[in-house]
Amino acid sequence: MTEPFAPPWDVVGVGANSVDLVHLLPAAPQPAGPHAKQRIRRQLVSCGGQMTTALACVAGFGWRAKYVGATGDDERGGILRAAMQDRQVDMSGALTRQGATNQFAVILVDETTGERIVLWDRDERLALQPHEVPADLIAHARLLHVDDVDQAAAIAAARQGRAAGIFVTSDIDRLTDLTPELVSAVTIPMFAEHVPPALTGLDDPEEALRALRREHDGLLVVTLGTRGALALDGDRAIRSPAFTVDAVDTTGAGDVFRAGFIHGLLSGWPLERALRFANAAAAVSCTRLGALSGIPSLADVDAMLARG
């Protein structure tokens, strides 16, 4: 008997990557006063980026993950590619731009709260173009995850995913002229907290999602930081509280949340369970410094869930 065809990839991710230069500070930097000049407590290089952090976390949860995006041919690009391969993310679909400096970020972390400021730069040659999105690859995946860095490419990929009838999830972190088109293209938009109010003019997260429901009939999800997450499933609003932790660094927490939610989605879990798992994963990541270096294992998340 012939076994049913299994897609070669559980998750294909189309989006951005970064090499992060993390600096731990004794307090949040200020333009004047006692915190205008501080000694750095600790420094490390930790790969990150919206898409690559999410994919590395998904791979750590046991799913087959493949990255589509562009890296530089410099030393940082090499560091990024090696780090992802070490995390079992397939990088054969990543383009290497000759002469381009890989995207990087300087991240300033307040050690008293774990909150951070991100200063970043990106060579324009790293932008992924719509024609560079491999439609055949997407058609043979179980789920497509896109971010909003190269929005035209993300929209093209999302439409291909929709046409193939697969889950298309998103990391929507900013508002541009193309954001409404990207929201419409994906099947499960996942927003950063500030985006739904910016799109709708409504400050209340639930009211904002209900306004977005008029334009999108799929599952809508918004992350709310220390307040957890909110989903709108049809007309049913589901609130999932955050886990209380002593935060060390919140960098990558949103990316890890999305990876946790994708894990629940592919596992066929009820929405409430997927949201709680995603919140637990994000909470674990906040207790560690760096994006990729803060990614939790399944055992880490289960321990957080058991803690309640």
Strands (E) located in the chain? 9-14, 18-25, 42-48, 65-68, 70-72, 89-90, 95-97, 104-110, 116-121, 141-147, 167-171, 190-191, 220-223, 229-233, 236-240
| pLDDT at res. 1 | 39
The two tokens of residue 185 are 């293209």
158-185 pLDDT, tens digit per residue, is 999 999 999 999 999 999 999 999 999 9
Spatial neighbors of 85 by CB under 8 A, at least 6 apart, are: 91
More confident residue, 169 or 249: 169
Express the helix, strand and coil content of the chain in percent, nearest 5 each: 40, 25, 35
Between residues 46 and 223, the one the model is more confident about: 223
- Would the pLDDT of 4 be above 60? no
Q: What is the pLDDT of residues 253-299, one digit of tens each?
A: 999 999 999 999 999 999 999 999 999 999 999 999 889 999 999 99
Q: What is the DSSP letter of 135?
A: H
Residue at 176: amino acid letter: T
* pTM for this predicted structure: 0.93
187, two tokens:
């099947």
Residue 19 has pLDDT above 90, yes or no: yes
Q: pLDDT tens digits for 105-135?
A: 999 999 899 888 999 999 999 999 999 999 9
**Helical H runs in 148-225?**
151-164, 179-185, 195-200, 205-213
pLDDT of residue 3: 46
Model confidence band, residue 213 (pLDDT cutoffs 50, 70, 90): very high
d(CA 158, CA 170): 9
Q: Is the pLDDT of residue 26 over 60?
A: yes
Domains and CATH numbers, the chain: 9-16+49-100+125-307 (3.40.1190.20)
Cβ neighbour number for residue 299 with a 10 Å cutoff: 8
